[in-house]
């Protein structure tokens, strides 16, 4: 193979000569392109070995950028020796080789470094490479017995970004399609196996529980051509148990009644025996005064002491105490706890405390469950808001908070939450409905919004900025609408959000996505006001954000 440089006067000089193959070998066709992505022209040479026992090969000569070339990889065993063309037929950005001989042809896909994969047969020859159907993909025209065959390109030409991620339980990842060449960028999303969920926009949400590490494939299929698709890989990992003591959950985590048997779960990475005391505080805010405030001190896997703090709320006492197992009762002005129906069970790292609680008639309204745990190290989890409860009472006149659904959740979203507000004077009396999502009633660095209704099915969502000033500035969104409002804690999308007013009820649905930086246990505080009355903040739900 000889390389001739142009002298500029119609004559050429030989720069270099490179031997190709063994004796009797000869170059049958040459293609020129940047084969390895270094910006320099390279050569792909179809070498005719002229022997059925010694098939042809595709030899690459990689350009040095000065007109000289170095010998690159060779792909042997190519059965066709008549023509060679270069075209990116699979849309990965690197030229591939198409070789032909009469009515037969084959393609060799470029690995991206100037080497090629083994040949694959194509029915019919490959005389020309043209985008015949204008779909952005190179097609083939070739000779077949009795005529010409046109072959449409069926290569996958979509990719997915990011290509690989690792997620824990309830975590989410937004995937995006990459259409390398095609007139239609629309894709259909699917996952395999069916673990977790993926939306029509490519948002994957991991399941709430992952027992063992596993891999899930995310598949984007072109909506016009199902043969065009791309994949990404998700590695799901079990969530690491927090070090030291930690409250784990409440069942039920939300509801409404004057009495209920609640199951509280705590854990310690050093084993349940390392726990010295676990606490449950039920109140409208994190305040031990006038609360149902309980401490439990385990003495064995199925035994321990329940201490109910008095109305003054001093964690140092005095207490009303009873033993578990037992049939006694402890009471204060907010609640009573019955030994009958209460129990404790501990195993491994977990301690499960079941308490039969009855709330008093004066302790009505929406309450938050705050849990904490301490151990011998000494370690302290701090208070964690893990649930809400409504103790039924009379509904006041004017605007009020009826509730929300789901009242417990554990995903960054997007999740569509339904908030229900009422007004004895009719829903039209509600001037503003508020939603504040944070670990406490604090508008700073919160997902804090106001909704101002303008009609039975319309209004304005005003998302307060990070500084938390209820007077603004805001990020605004009209309903119905397709826009979005965002701050550093959350995004509210118009798509999936709506409002409806009927009778005394205003129902607000908001599609909320939380940011990864807004992690932890957060409480939904809701409020409604008219021009003269205000419900005050009411704890209506919780979300555990990974």
Query: Strand, helix or coil at 372?
Result: strand
> How far apart are the C-alpha atoms of 4 and 18, rounded to whole Å?
12
CATH, residue 193: 2.60.40.10
Q: Are residues 303 and 424 in the same domain?
A: no
Let me know whether 381 and 403 are in one domain.
no
Residue 15 located in a structural domain: yes
Whether 508 and 369 share a structural domain:
no
Q: Under 8 Å CB-to-CB from 175, ≥6 apart: which residues?
A: 160, 161, 162, 189, 198, 202, 203, 204, 218, 220, 232
CATH number at residue 324: 2.60.40
pLDDT at 478: 95
Cis peptide before 471 (omega within 30 of 0): no
Same domain for 163 and 268? no
Residues 277 and 374 in one domain: yes
**Structural domain contains residue 241:** no
Residues 15 and 141 in one domain: yes
What confidence score (pLDDT) does residue 471 get? 81
Same domain, 426 and 502: yes
Range of the domain at 484: 399-545
Residues 38, 143 within the same domain: yes
263 & 382 share domain: yes
Do 298 and 364 fall into the same domain?
A: yes
Among 391, 420, 440, give the residue marking a domain's end: 391
CA atoms of 57 and 77, how far apart (whole Å): 6
Which domain-ending residue is among 184, 201, 236?
236
- Enumerate residue ranges in the chain where pLDDT < 70: 15, 18-25, 49-55, 80-81, 102-104, 121-127, 135-136, 142-159, 178-185, 223-229, 239-242
Give the number of domains in the chain: 4
Dmax (CA) for the chain in angstroms is 111
Residue 182 pLDDT: 44
Same domain, 255 and 341: yes
């Amino acid at each position: 193979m000889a390389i001739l440089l142009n002298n500029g006067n119609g004559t050429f000089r030989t720069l270099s000569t490179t031997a190709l193959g063994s004796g009797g070998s000869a170059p049958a066709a040459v293609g020129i392109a940047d084969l390895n992505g270094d910006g320099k022209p390279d050569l792909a040479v179809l070498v005719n070995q002229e022997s059925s026992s010694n098939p042809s090969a595709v030899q690459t000569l990689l350009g040095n950028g000065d007109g000289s070339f170095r010998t690159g990889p060779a792909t042997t065993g190519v059965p066709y020796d008549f023509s060679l063309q270069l075209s990116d037929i699979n849309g990965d950005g690197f030229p591939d080789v198409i070789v032909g001989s009469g009515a037969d042809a084959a393609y060799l896909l470029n690995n991206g470094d100037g080497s090629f994969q083994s040949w694959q047969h194509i029915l019919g020859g490959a005389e020309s490479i043209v985008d015949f159907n204008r779909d952005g993909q190179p097609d083939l025209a070739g000779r077949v017995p009795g005529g010409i065959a046109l072959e449409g390109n069926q290569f996958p030409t979509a990719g997915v970004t990011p290509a690989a991620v690792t997620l824990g339980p309830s975590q989410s990842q937004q995937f995006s399609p990459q259409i390398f060449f095609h007139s239609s960028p629309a894709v259909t999303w699917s996952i395999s196996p069916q673990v977790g969920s993926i939306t029509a926009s490519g948002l994957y949400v991991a399941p709430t529980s992952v027992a063992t590490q596993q891999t899930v494939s995310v598949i984007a299929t072109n909506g016009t051509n199902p043969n065009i698709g791309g994949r990404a890989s998700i590695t799901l990992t079990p969530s690491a148990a927090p070090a030291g003591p930690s409250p784990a959950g409440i069942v039920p985590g939300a509801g409404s009644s004057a009495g209920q048997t609640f199951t509280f779960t705590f854990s310690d990475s050093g084993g349940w025996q390392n726990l010295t005391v676990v606490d449950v505080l039920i109140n409208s805010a994190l305040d031990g005064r006038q609360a149902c405030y309980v401490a439990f001190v385990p003495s064995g896997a199925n035994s321990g002491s329940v201490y109910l703090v008095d109305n003054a709320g001093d964690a140092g006492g005095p207490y009303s105490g009873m033993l578990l197992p037992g049939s006694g009762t402890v009471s204060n002005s907010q609640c009573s706890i019955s030994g009958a129906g209460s129990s404790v069970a501990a195993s491994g790292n977990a301690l499960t405390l079941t308490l039969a609680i009855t709330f008093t008639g004066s302790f009505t309204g929406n309450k938050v469950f705050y849990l904490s745990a301490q151990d011998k190290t000494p370690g302290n989890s701090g208070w964690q808001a893990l649930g809400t409860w409504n103790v039924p009472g009379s509904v006041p006149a004017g605007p009020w908070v009826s509730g929300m659904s789901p009242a417990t959740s554990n995903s960054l979203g997007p999740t569509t939450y339904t908030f229900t507000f009422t007004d004895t004077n009719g829903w039209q009396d509600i001037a503003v409905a508020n939603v504040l999502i944070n670990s406490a009633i604090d508008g700073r660095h919160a997902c804090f919004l106001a909704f101002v209704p303008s009609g039975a099915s319309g209004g304005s969502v005003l998302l307060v900025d990070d500084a938390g000033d209820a007077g603004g500035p805001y990020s605004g969104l009209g309903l119905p609408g397709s826009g979005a409002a965002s701050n550093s804690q959350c995004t509210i999308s118009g798509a999936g959000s709506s409002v409806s007013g009927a009778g005394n009820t205003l129902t607000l649905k908001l599609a909320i996505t939380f940011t990864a930086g807004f992690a932890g246990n957060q409480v939904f505080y809701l409020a409604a006001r008219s021009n003269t009355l205000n419900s005050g903040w009411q704890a209506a739900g919780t979300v555990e954000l990974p």
